[in-house]
Every structure is written in structure tokens, then in C-alpha cells.
Structure 1
Amino acid sequence: MNALELPVIRDPRVEHADIAAWLQSLGGPVWLILEGEDTRRCRVVTTLLHGNEPSGTLALHRWLMSGPRPRTRLAVLLANVHGALSHPLFTHRHTVDGRDLNRCFRAPFEGPSGALARAIAHDLAALVPELVVDLHNTSGNGPAFAVATRRHPVIEALAGRFCERLVVTDLRLGSLMELPHEMPALADCPVFTLECGGALQPEAREVAEGLFRLLSDCLDPAALSSIPYLEVLVHPLRVELRPGASVVYAREPRPGVDLTLWARIDEHNRGVTQPDARLGWLGERGVACLTARDGLGRERVDELLEARDGRLHARRPLRLFMATTNSEIARSDCLFYAVSAVSEGSLR
């Protein structure tokens, strides 16, 4: 293993039962490295790329308190420690003067967030991992799911242990899971995101804790058997506001607003959204206030959504995910992702 750019704590021991005190003691972005039984192999878990997504950190803290000894070397990154510690705890996606770290993993790596992303990418290559799992919470409440940029047996075997859905995307946003396409050193490494569920859902921490236990106990993730049903959905579209468009969340339409989304639209993160379901209300611009471009840059919003008597509806049965009720995230990131309810493939 080559030298790492970020600080390293080897074989960490938790001395603070209070999560905030523990994070303060870390001082900032840091690698926690547990040597394990087989030091020739390394697995990586990254978490806290977003400071308001705590499940991975809470699970890690609890797991470390048990004094684990993993089967292989395990390197765990706590990335946006400063964002997580911004008051109130675990409510800020990033610091006030920062950028969304999970949009910075590609050139030109501008500003402090870009520099941190570049250091993380360098360290991942230096660790020579056989697997990278990036832990997140969903922006709204909903079930756990996995996201990857390609299909891979290790990804599918692990994802099938913790969720029922794997989304394979060709969108390129500058996220950590895209690094195998950017860095030859990681080209063959299975990298995927595990969205554990909403930040306030107890089940989300259980998913993250399960991942740490599995990576600690299992020597070969590719050999996992008895994988439950895993639905694989490919090429989701990212539904965003057009520049200058406005959005609010309410139970009735708001005048003078381009889009009023249903106050509990995150309920659509489960199951299939049928065309008769009302997603919200549209202003004078109609669906023109929205955009959904595919991986080739083609506009596809009219294939997904339509206006009916001033209301927003799905044009066909869709699976929605990452639907948020946070207007700040809706404006700065996206409203939700959508894909046809007909899956492209599945595993049993």
C-alpha cells in the first residue's frame, strides 16, 4: 500500500460514546484502517460524503465499539466531518462555503471540496482495493437500494443482501462511484453506492451495520449464495428544475410557483407510481419548468411526465427513487430519479 494523502488512524479504538465528541476527536477527513486477518487484501467503505447522511457513521461508531477484527484489511473513510459537525449535527450536506463533495470526483477538482475529492481518489488508488462501497442516506424516506455504473457479480451479490433494487446508471455527475471510469488504477474494482434509506429511519442504520458485519465476517463476497430477488433497473433519468424555476411542497397548489410538489412525494419511493397518481401541481410554464436528460444529453422529460388540468402526472408506470421533500436539495440537486417500471433484468 502506497502513502495516503489524508490522515490515517490505524486499528482505531472508540474512546467517546457520544458520536459528536468522537467526530470532534477525528479532526476532519480521515481514514480508519483495520488491518484484519488477511493484510494482502483490502476493502474500502466510504461514508459521510454528505454531512446530513449519518447512518454509515452511526453504524461505524457502534461497530468499532465492539472491537472487531475483519477478515481482510478494511479502510473506512469519514469524509465530510466538518459538514456533519456544523450545527445542528448531521443536518448540513456540506459546509456553508463548500460544494457537494459527491459531485467533485472529476477534473478540474476546483476549490477545497475538489481538492478533498482528488485526495480521496488518490488514496483509493493507493489502497488497491478489491471492493469499494459508498454508504449514503436517501434524500427522502424510502427503502434501501444500490446504485452502480455497471453490472458486476460482486456488486450484485452484496447489493442483494441489503436491498431489493439495483439501479445501473449511465449518468455522469462527478460522484465517487464513477472513479473506475476515470482512473485506470480502479478500472477493475467493483464500486457501488448503497443508499441505506432515509436519515431518520432506524432501518437505515441496520443496513449500514449489516454491511460492516458482513465485510468483517465474509472472506469472499463474490461467493455469496442464496441471493434474494434483486430487481435491476437501468438508465434512470434525473428530473431537475430548469434554471430559475421555483418549487414548494404542499398539500394544495401554491399560486405564483412553477411547481408545487405533493408534501409527501417521498411516499412514491416505494412501489410503482401509476399514471393516475397526482405528483403535484404545475404553474403557467407547465412541464417546461422541468428537465430530464439522459446519459447522451437528450431531453426525455416528456416521456416521463405530463400535465393534466394543471396537475403533474407520470405518463406511464414509473419507479421513482430519491424523491425528496427538502426544497433546498430539490433546487440544488434534483427532484427525483425515474425509470420505467418494467425492469431490464433481475437476479435470483
Structure 2
Amino acid sequence: MAALSLPVIVAPSRLHDQAVPWLQSLGGPAWIVLGDPEAGPRWVVVTLLHGNEPSGALALHRWLLEGPRPRRPLWVLLANVVGALAHPVFTRRHAPDDRDLNRCFRAPFAGPSGELARAIIADLVAMAPELVVDLHNTSGNGPAFAVATRRHPVIEALAGRFCERLIVTDLRLGSLMELPHREPALADCPVFTLECGGALQLEAREVAGGLFRLLADCQDLSALPCPPDLEVLVHPLRVELRPGAVVVYDRGPNPDADLTLWARIDEHNRGVTSPQACLGWLGPAGLGCLQAIDGEGRERIAELFEARDGRLHARRTLRLFMATTNSEIARSDCLFYAVPA
């Protein structure tokens, strides 16, 4: 295998017993390799693409302290270490004055995040992995779920062991899981995102740790059966604020906001959302402060939601996920995703 762009640490036998000093000792992004780095095929887990989503890194640290010995080579990338360690630790999506790393896996590769994304792509191409799992936390509290850009038996078999729902999306945002569509060398590799749950949920760390243990014990991914109760939802819509719109979270309408979302909107990450549920309150522009553009560039917001006496309601029964109560994430990323139930 050709030399990699990022540092490689093989089978770390000694590490600090606390996660933050351990990450500080890395000095930046790094590959942690368990097993013979020259053996193959390689399975890859990526974590800390977002610095405020630490469950994967925390689970990895705890697992490494146990001295694991995977049956197959396992490569784990700790990506946005700088963003994760920016004060206060594990609270920033990315370092100040930088870009969201998980929107940088396509040209132009500008700024530090773009350069790091390009280095990660080069390393993955050089590795020719058999699997890539990207560990994240959800923006709000909620159950674990998986996201992929296509259906694949290995993706469904692995996802079904840690969550009940797989989202298959046609949206293209520049994320790592889109690489099979852009890099011919990765075209046949199953790549998916596992959203482990909220960053403060202990269950999220258990999901991430469960993935490491499963991959350490497994010898043949193709032999894993797909759980029969995995729900597959296709082509969710990303609900965003229009540029310049202001959102706040409260228990009643805020006259200074274009949209006031219910203070516990993240409760809708579980189960279904009925048209009877009030999701928030709209300002003078009504639904005009929102957009939901599909993979073909069509505006779909009016198919999903409607205004009733100034309140925001689903037009039909929906499943919402990734609903956040963080106004900064809502402004810079999205409010939530929605798909008809």
C-alpha cells in the first residue's frame, strides 16, 4: 500500500486513561490501526468528522483500553481532532473560521477542512477498503439510525444491528458517504453513516462501542444476515431556513423570529409526526422562511407542511429525524429531515 497522507498509529499499546489528553497527544487527525496494516481487506471506521459529535471517539478510547485484537485489519480515523479540542471541548462542529468537514468531500477543496478532506480521500483510495462506516451523533436527542446513498446488503446487515431505520438519500452535500459516486476506486465499497444518537446520550456511546466489537469479532461481512425488521426510508427531504431567516426555540411564538420551533422539537425524532401536532409558530412570511429542495432541485416544502392560524403543521403524517434544538446548527446546517410515513 502506498504511503498515506495522514499519520498512522499501529496497535497503540499505551495511551492516556482519559480521552481528552489522549486526543491532545495525537496533535491532529490520525489513523489508529489494529491488526497487520499490510494485511487486507481493510475495514474502516471514521469518527470526529464533526467535533461536537464525540461518541465514536470516546467509545474507541474506552475500547482501546481493553486491548482488543480484531480478527481482520481495522482502521479507525480520528478526523477533526482540532475542531473537537477547540475550547470548550466537544462543543464545536468545526474549528473557528473553518468549514464543515463533512461538506468538503468534493471540489473545491478550500481551506483547512478542504485540505483534510482531500487527504482522507487519497488515503481511502490507497487503502481500497472493503467497508467504510462513518460514526456521528444526531444533532438532537433521538434514536440511532443509519444513512446511505444506496441500498447494499452489507450496509443493511450492519445498520440493522444498531438501529431500526436506514435512510437512503439522493441528496448530495459533499459528505464522506457520497465518495462511491465520485471516486471510481471506491465505487464498489459499501459506505454509510451511523448516527449513534445524541452526543450526551450514554446509549450513543454503546452503539459506537458495539460497532467496534462487532467488526473486531467478524470475519466475513457477507455472512451477516439482514435483520427482518429494518425499516428503509427512501429520499428524505432536508428542511432548511431560507437565507436570512431567523429561528428560535420556545414554548410560544417569538415576534422577532421568522420561525419559532417548539422548544422540544427533538422529541419528534421518535415515532411519527401527525398533522395534528403543532411544531411551532410562523412569522409574517409564513412558510416562505422554509425550503425543502429534493435531489432534482425541486422545492417541496408545501408538500410537507402547512400554516394553520400562524402555526406550523405537517400536511401529512411524517417521520422527522435529526431535529435539533441548537439554533446555530439549524442556521448553518438544517432544521431537520422529513420523509412521508
Pairwise same-fold verdict (TM > 0.5): yes
- Given that 1:36 and 1:69 are in contact with CA atoms closer than 8 Å, whether structure 2 keeps it comes out as no
Q: How does 1:80-229 map to 2 (within 5 A)?
A: 80-225=80-225, 227-229=227-229
The answer for the alignment partner of 1:244 in structure 2 is 244
The answer for the alignment partner of 1:345 in structure 2 is none
Question: Which residue identity does 1:212 align to in structure 2?
Answer: F
Give CA-to-partner distance per residue, 1:187-241, whole Å, 9 cap, x none. 0000000000000001000000000000000111221136251000000000000
Matched, 1:56 2:56: yes
- Given that 1:36 and 1:71 are in contact with CA atoms closer than 8 Å, whether structure 2 keeps it comes out as no
C-alpha separation in 1, matches of 2:199 and 2:271: 20
- Given that 1:37 and 1:69 are in contact with CA atoms closer than 8 Å, whether structure 2 keeps it comes out as no
Shift of 1:2: 1.8
Secondary structure (helix, strand or coil) at the match of 1:162 reads coil
Question: Which residue identity does 1:286 align to in structure 2?
Answer: G
Shift of 1:69: 1.1
Shift of 1:12: 1.6
C-alpha separation in 1, matches of 2:247 and 2:14: 43
- Given that 1:129 and 1:189 are in contact with CA atoms closer than 8 Å, whether structure 2 keeps it comes out as yes
- Given that 2:158 and 2:226 are in contact with CA atoms closer than 8 Å, whether structure 1 keeps it comes out as no
The answer for the alignment partner of 1:302 in structure 2 is 302
The answer for the alignment partner of 2:279 in structure 1 is 279
Q: TM-score, normalised by structure 2?
A: 0.98
Secondary structure (helix, strand or coil) at the match of 1:158 reads helix
Give CA-to-partner distance per residue, 1:241-297, whole Å, 9 cap, x none. 000100000001001210000000000000000000000000000001000000000
The answer for the alignment partner of 2:13 in structure 1 is 13
Question: Which residue identity does 1:143 align to in structure 2?
Answer: P
Q: TM-score, normalised by structure 1?
A: 0.96
The answer for the alignment partner of 1:316 in structure 2 is 316
Matched, 1:4 2:23: no
The answer for the alignment partner of 1:292 in structure 2 is 292
Alpha-carbon distance change, 14 to 145 in structure 1, aligned in 2, over 3 angstroms: farther
C-alpha separation in 1, matches of 2:119 and 2:340: 37
Alpha-carbon distance change, 38 to 153 in structure 1, aligned in 2, over 3 angstroms: farther
C-alpha separation in 2, matches of 1:326 and 1:256: 18
Superposition RMSD in Å:
1.1
- Given that 2:153 and 2:226 are in contact with CA atoms closer than 8 Å, whether structure 1 keeps it comes out as no
Alpha-carbon distance change, 112 to 246 in structure 1, aligned in 2, over 3 angstroms: same
Alpha-carbon distance change, 183 to 226 in structure 1, aligned in 2, over 3 angstroms: closer
Question: Which residue identity does 2:169 align to in structure 1?
Answer: T
Q: How many residues align?
A: 341
Question: Which residue identity does 1:24 align to in structure 2?
Answer: Q
Shift of 1:40: 2.2
Alpha-carbon distance change, 228 to 16 in structure 1, aligned in 2, over 3 angstroms: farther
Give CA-to-partner distance per residue, 1:288-311, whole Å, 9 cap, x none. 100000000000000001100000
C-alpha separation in 2, matches of 1:14 and 1:211: 22
The answer for the alignment partner of 1:28 in structure 2 is 28
C-alpha separation in 2, matches of 1:171 and 1:203: 28
Shift of 1:329: 0.2
The answer for the alignment partner of 1:260 in structure 2 is 260
Shift of 1:141: 0.2
| Structure 1 portions without partners, runs of 5+ | 342-348
| Structure 2 portions without partners, runs of 5+ | none
Which range moves more in the overlay, 162-171 or 7-16? Answer: 7-16
Identity fraction in percent: 77
Give CA-to-partner distance per residue, 1:63-88, whole Å, 9 cap, x none. 11111111111110000101111111
